[in-house]
Amino acid sequence: MSRDVISTVIVMIAIFFSRVMGFIKIKVFSYYFGANIEADIFNYVLIFPII
């Protein structure tokens, strides 16, 4: 395999792992804090720097 293909596969795996970990983070956070205004504010604060 060429170096480009290996690099592409590594990046794909890293992105997939990142997405799965983000999903798990949301599920764990929702389990412990539920759906309330404090949880919404916390999520907005985490997302705001990305926007």
Q: How far apart are CA 39 and CA 50, in angstroms?
A: 18
Q: Name which residue leads in pLDDT, 24 or 43.
A: 24
- Model pLDDT, residue 10: 97
Give residue 40's pLDDT band: very low, low, confident or very high (50, 70, 90): confident
- Model pLDDT, residue 37: 86
- Model pLDDT, residue 49: 72
Task: Give the three-class secondary structure for 34.
Answer: coil
Q: How far apart are CA 49 and CA 51, in angstroms?
A: 6
Number of Cβ atoms within 10 Å of the Cβ of 42: 13
Its pTM stands at 0.65
